[in-house]
A and B are shown apart, each in its own frame.
Chain A
Amino acid sequence: MSKKIVVFVIIIFSFLSVLIIALIGTLPDNVSVNLEEIIISPESYDGYKYENNEDGTVTSIKIKDLKDIVTDSNLSFDLYYELTLPAAFEAGLREKYLDEEEYLKERSRILSILREDIDVVSDLNFRVDYNSNRITLIFDLSDLKKTFDVKIVSKKNQGISDHVLLYFKKDGESGIE
């Protein structure tokens, strides 16, 4: 047995130890609340596109121009979102935990569980970084002039969602057609 093998064993064992503690050494996840809203962060969209519906109402859709962001040398775009808890639940939590630090810790624990409640619907390849509330959308070179709809939705309640239309503005064009 050589030192190289020991180094390998230490790395594998450290990795396994984290997995074991995560699987059988942590407290159960019990939260009695669902997400109130999923909102795409303002820095992840430029504005709105308005569409007239058949019933006379107008729907606003968030839009983002990626022309100068996603290029040959940068084939990804980070979409940020925010999750909110019901106001009544937040108030109850504040009442229960008078100490600010305790309150923030419990809130953080609940949000860390609820973060996994989201799902993404898109034709693009993507990865979700739950800790940073970030979705990394990965483009191919052939995607650079296409339009994509990205929808973030709650797994437990499909009604809670938000979406953004990503497009590449053509030269001389004022906005999305």
Chain B
Amino acid sequence: MLSRLKILTILQLSNLTEIKRNKRLFAKIALRILRIVLVTIVMALVVYLFNNFLYITVNIYFVIVMILLSQAFSIGGITSQLMNSLYESKENQILMSFPVTDNDIFISKLIVSYLRELLRSLNFIIPLLIGVGIIKDMGFSYYLGVIVLMFVLPFLATTISSLISIQLTFFKNLFKRYSFLPVILGSVVFVALYLLVSYGLSFLPDQIRIVQLYHSFTNNLYDTMMAISNYATIYKVAGYILYGQNLGLWYPVFLITPVVLFVIVYLLIKPLYFKLASLTFEEARSKKRKAQNEKSNNLFIAFFKKELIVSFRSFGDTLSHYSLLLMMPFVMLIINSIYMRMNRSLNGNTYVLVFNIIITLLIATSSNTASATAISGEGQEFVLLKTAPSDTKTIAWAKILFNILISTLLIFISFVVFRLALPKFPALDLWLIFILVIMINISHIFWSFELDILNPQLNQAMTLGTLRNSPNISKSIGIGFTLSFIAGILALGGTFILGPYVWILLFGLAILLLIVRFVYFRSYLSAYFIDIEM
């Protein structure tokens, strides 16, 4: 079994890394060590800054919370990676055809995950712990504990992730089958988050003074760290080990717990693994929806309907495009609750206005990635579209209208939620900002779409199956970033020179921008849509 595991692990590692090309292996190892040393120095400086200047106490609670946080991120990352590699990876089809057992494949995948996490831990948590050790002048037993943690923490994270991944795979399959479920769940999370933020903001004092607020923050941070540490279970034990408390008891507990957990995970997943992993096989798939031929008299409505259906069927993708817009009411609520509780001068009120324009525009424009990938996202389906015997560039108008509607609706909801949550904010200013943001955002949608018409990434969508690295996304976000700051600077300068008449200037420029982008978009669409090829 061991030799099979070794071969399977090396096989998968060689797919993931450049292990075969070992001509410069020693140089790479040396560079890696140098990087770890540099990161450790930076971490030591950060810990020193926290401890001596930012009034954040670095003690056992800090260490436990940092370990817990790094584990949370690790578990999140490994779970997502394991969900893919354990149950959805296409290499499963090849691995399962080898003369090995399902258990061998399962364990080898966990070993690969463990090794990757071990290397990853050298980038953050281990340098941080060494940094704490240097700054707090810790003794030998602390560093011995760090070495033990270096090997045990990735094991713990991998084991917990493998346990979580099976439940999440189940839910993922369920969400794929019932596409309304993520909508309901997303709404519940949104409302819960909103209530939580509102509750947290109710603790803000009436008269905020920034030094006092910071001291309150550090005090509450310490209380939170202490409370979290007390419920950190095995990670609390890790803290005890580092701080040399009752080592005879805690070392065995810390070493045995992950092993017991692994045995439980193994016994739980063993009967399910083959069944779940083979779901990716072609014969295991069934068509979810039956094709229906429906005649439509209006091409635009047909395409618009298609956009609507696709956005619901691939709700995850829709959500990832507009996820930042969902963040908007929270960001607005948090920063404005702080602004409103400051004893502001007239200039202060101007800054509030300007910062609101910049921040809302930043969020709105960076959510237009759906427009920047609208044509590319069609991937290999685009060839069918091109050969259809009708004016297929209508799809661009259907897509752009859909993006404008969904974006405007989400921004409107954000402003309404904000208005209800913070009625203290001047209503006139709020709705003027809303109209300005909508106009600039629509201009930006036209601009982003135009980028995709001029430089479509159909090949990337076809070969990689994702457009995450599309240059159009980066350009679209970059343009939005620039527009936001230009609008902010104009609002600031304009307020000082024109007073309340600044809105005439801002709306005038926004309308001009909207007209220019609309004309450009229409011209580019007419001229270049026909030339788009696979």
Contact = CB atoms under 8 A, between A and B. Distances in A.
Contacts of A136: 219, 222-223
B212 A116 contact: yes
A146 interface: no
Given A24-B347, A25-B342, A18 B245 contact: no
Interface residues of B, number: 55
B484 to A, nearest CB: 10
Interface residues of A, number: 45
B342 A17 contact: no
A22 interface: yes
Interface string B456-477: 0000000000000000011001
Taking each of A18, A27, A112, A131, which has the highest tally of chain B beta carbons within 10 Å of its own beta carbon?
A131
B478 interface: yes
Interface in A14-41: 14, 17-27
A114 to B, nearest CB: 11
A165 interface: no
A10 B359 contact: yes
Contact of B362 (A13, A72, A115): A13
A10 B344 contact: no
A112 B366 contact: no
Contacts, number: 141
A3 B369 contact: yes
B209 interface: yes
B226 A76 contact: yes
B345 interface: yes
A91 interface: no
Contact of A26 (B216, B223, B348): B348
Contacts of A26: 342-345, 348
Taking each of B218, B223, B348, which has the highest tally of chain A beta carbons within 10 Å of its own beta carbon?
B348
B331 A27 contact: no
B150 interface: no
A97 B243 CA distance: 56
A24 B345 CA distance: 9
Given A9-B481, A108-B207, A138-B57, A131 B213 contact: yes
A49 B210 CA distance: 38
10 contacts: A5-B477, A18-B210, A21-B351, A26-B344, A74-B226, A105-B206, A109-B207, A112-B207, A128-B215, A131-B205
Interface of A: 1-3, 5-7, 9-10, 13-14, 17-27, 72-76, 105, 108-109, 112-113, 115-116, 125, 127-132, 134, 136, 138, 140-141
Given A26-B343, A130-B212, A136-B219, 10 more contacts: A13-B359, A14-B355, A17-B359, A22-B208, A22-B210, A23-B210, A24-B351, A129-B215, A131-B213, A136-B223
